[in-house]
Chain A
């Protein structure tokens, strides 16, 4: 019979207990994280891996090629990089992301957050709800609403407004298609930026701002010297998330312009969709998706690196 004191004292005897505790902890971790890991593996990692594999094949769903899928190495990537259309689409997507997410949504979202975080403002709830509304509207509804708003001729809402000022109608989606979709995406994304920034701003202790005000700092100086540096983390997180999601935008633009007129709004997501689901060239479409994924991963890494950097 071994008493408990002896069992605690002997390392040889203590080891099974430690092993058991570790095993128990590990099994709890597996039980808690396991289902999520299985689901992520099944629905995220495996399809992504399959997509990467497909990008090295000539997989198609139509024609004789559908009967004979072959490994083609980097052929799809070569095709895409020598096709001016793909590079042009990537460039358009970068322009769309920069002006709508990084510039437009950031500036207006920050302005809305700064205004709404002031306690003195009237009808705060109303303005907050109004800014939030575009985010909760389904993508198709938003596209239809803007389609009606920017419709050509005298029936478009915006053109009716212009006619009241004695101005002629403008074919918005034809004459300034990229600018139009950038504005629409800014409208849709302000709410997300505002929520993130407002939460961050409200977490800043009030006495810091009070002290600055006592020292004679102007409102702009407070924003520039105190607020923005203190919410640098949320800003960078916003940049990361909005860049990734804006690169992936498809429905809003497709419903409005289908990538046109001409190829004027043929963002990379629409380009990939056309290859994969209009021509059923799954291999080429997958290669385009992998390139987009890599571009987003690189941008994400840059943001993460920047967020770690010292000011």
Chain B
């Protein structure tokens, strides 16, 4: 009987231990690096701020103590913990989406505006409209910037702190040396003519055009072409994607022409990390002297502290607007990055205050100068160090006349379908018409037939 009792005791002990270990495993999860902490009993607030790019994180590291001091002077004890997830864009989006879904997202996060509509629609973000309405700085934001960050119901879920214009950057020094005119091309045919002249003299594909699934950034590539056709991808009235828009076939036709004439580095575009041998090697060398590019090229890509510096950048590199079939060249204005506040934050007012402070005066100027972005609000021309970059200020002044394509919900899916069409052309499998059909079919698969126009 004793043995039996001892055995029963052992079984109970083992069972209890297993249960305790499992319960401990379930309950001992730490808040995690991106969780928010609000020490409300002591009156102190701790905010978490997420950043994914090293250059931006370095600036924030410097600005955060200034913010904390400024708040302390106002009697608010706010501590900001910078969380650095330095990962590539796609991985960052995956991490962030999972964090939002799990309710463990940081209080404030920094990311590209194209993700904003989907995160807002999913209910992950705090509506900033009431905070911004009380903020004096809000009235100085450019209307085109505000409209891009506005959700269909008019609410603002992300505070734009960087804006950009997309243009065609070219190596003026190289073209001059080759004896090729640097006059603004007024039509795509005239640009193709210039590119053919370059190729005839260098023997290399001269144009860096982000296209295909590896680059995965049609907003930096053919969407700029689409904008000039008068077609639209998304119909605001119906809330559906126009997957049979004639502008798509037009853009694919242009891509096919550029590919067939050997004017773009097709093989590089099909490789992983296609920007590496092109934007970061060939353009700085001058062997691919023309590139679709955004304002960030001035600092982030080719600036003195950028990924692939070009010495004497502003004298060597100039910009053209995109040609248009109507003969009126245009730039494409895009909002760059936004501060978004998680809906689960325990300190919404403090989080909004942090976003506003980072988008004001010297703090904003330092970030704009570091990454090479145009100011989303007026009145920054004389604030150093932004004031020392006339090319950024020039880009800012383009906003009033630039065309723009607003990001919409499901943008990443439509982008993916569009990239697959591009890929079909690049690898020689599809004609432009087939690529357009593939795009429509893939978009319908990804979005569902209810979200696309038949």
**B95, closest chain A residue (CB):** A277
In the complex, which residues of chain B have a beta carbon less than 8 angstroms from the beta carbon of A257?
A: 272
Assess whether A262 is in contact with B429, with CB atoms less than 8 Å apart.
yes
Binding-face segment, A57-65, A98-106, A298-306: A57-65
From the candidates A20, A263, A279, name the one contacting B413 in the complex (CB within 8 A).
A279
Q: Do A261 and B271 touch across chains, with their CB atoms under 8 A apart?
A: yes
Q: Does A34 contact B (CB under 8 A)?
A: yes
A34 is contacted by which of B15, B98, B416 (Cβ under 8 Å)? B15
**Does residue B410 face the partner (Cβ distance < 8 Å to A)?**
yes
Say whether chain A's binding surface is mostly helix, strand, loop, or mixed. helix
Residue of A with least CB distance to B8: A27
**Contact present for A173 and B22 (CB under 8 Å):** no
Contact of B4 among A24, A35, A259 (CB under 8 A): A24
- Interface presence of B11 (CB below 8 A): yes
CA distance A38 to B25 in the complex (A): 13
Distance from A32 Cβ to chain B, minimum over Cβ atoms (Å): 9
Q: B135-174: which have CB < 8 Å to A?
A: none
Which residues of chain B are within 8 angstroms of A277 by Cβ–Cβ distance? 94
CA distance A182 to B260 in the complex (A): 31
Q: Which residues of A contact B427 (CB under 8 A)?
A: 261-262
Shortest beta-carbon distance from B183 to chain A in Å: 34
**8 Å CB contacts to A: which residues of B1-43?**
4, 7-8, 10-11, 14-15, 18, 22
In-complex Cβ contact of A260 among B8, B22, B272 (8 A): B272
The answer, among B121, B214, B423, for a CB contact under 8 Å with A63, is: B121
- Is residue B118 within 8 Å, beta carbon to beta carbon, of the partner chain? yes
A52 to chain B, nearest CB (A): 20
Q: Judge if A278 is at the interface, Cβ distance under 8 Å.
A: yes
Instruction: Kindly state the separation between the CA atoms of A63 and B14 in the bound complex, as whole angstroms.
Output: 47
Task: Check A27–B423 contact: CB distance below 8 A.
Answer: no
* Interface membership of chain A positions 200-226, coded 1 if the CB is closer than 8 angstroms to chain B and 0 otherwise: 000000000000000000000000000
Given contact pairs A62-B118, A63-B410, A260-B270, A79 touches B445 in the complex (Cβ within 8 A):
yes
The residue that B214 contacts in the complex, of A27, A260, A281, with Cβ under 8 A, is A260
State whether the Cβ of B446 lies closer than 8 Å to any Cβ in chain A: yes
A174 in the interface, Cβ–Cβ < 8 Å? Answer: yes
B203 at the interface (CB under 8 A from A): no
Closest to A263 in B: B423
1/0 contact string of A74-106 vs chain B (CB within 8 Å)? 000001000101000000000000000000000
- In this complex, which of A38, A62, A64, A83 has the most chain B Cβ atoms within 10 angstroms of its Cβ? A62
- Complex CA gap A290/B11 in Å reads 38
Task: Report which residue of B270, B420, B424 has the largest number of chain A beta carbons within 10 angstroms of its beta carbon.
Answer: B270
Partner of B122 from A35, A66, A173, A262 at Cβ < 8 Å: A66
A66: chain B residues within 8 A (beta carbon)? 101, 121-124
Q: Is the CB of A67 within 8 A of B123?
A: yes
Q: Give the docked Cα–Cα distance between A152 and B274 (Å).
A: 12
Interface string of B90-103 (1 = CB under 8 A from A): 10001001101100
Contact A31 B10 (CB under 8 A): yes
CB of B400 closer than 8 Å to a CB of A? no
Residues of B within 8 A of A173 (CB): 271
Please measure, in the bound complex, the distance between the C-alpha atom of A28 and the C-alpha atom of B100, giving whole angstroms. 44
CB distance from A288 to the nearest CB of B (A): 13
With A66-B121, A174-B267, A260-B270 known as contacts, the answer to whether A280 contacts B97 (CB < 8 A) is yes
B12 to chain A, nearest CB (A): 10
Does B381 reach chain A (CB closer than 8 Å)?
A: no
Q: Does A258 contact B (CB under 8 A)?
A: yes
Please, what's the 1-or-0 string for B407-419, where 1 marks a CB less than 8 Å from any CB in chain A? Answer: 0011011001000
Complex Cα distance A38/B21, Å? 12
A83 to chain B: closest residue by CB: B445
Closest-by-CB residue of A relative to B214 is A260
Select B11's contact among A31, A64, A65, A263, beta carbons within 8 Å: A31
| Binary flags per residue of B239-271, CB closer than 8 Å to A gives 1, else 0 | 000000000000000000000000000010011
CA distance A132 to B413 in the complex (A): 42
**A24/B7 contact (C-beta < 8 A), A38-B22, A66-B123 known:** yes
Residue numbers in A under 8 Å from B121 (CB-CB): 62-64, 66-67
Between-chain CB contacts (< 8 Å), 19 pairs: A61-B101, A61-B122, A62-B118, A63-B117, A63-B122, A63-B409, A64-B409, A65-B122, A66-B101, A67-B121, A67-B123, A85-B442, A173-B271, A174-B271, A257-B272, A258-B214, A261-B271, A262-B426, A278-B416
A residues in contact (CB < 8 Å) with B: 20, 24, 27-28, 30-31, 34-35, 38, 42, 61-67, 79, 83, 85, 152, 171, 173-174, 256-263, 277-281
Further contacts, 4 of them, CB under 8 A, given A35-B18, A61-B100, A280-B97: A64-B121, A171-B267, A258-B214, A278-B412
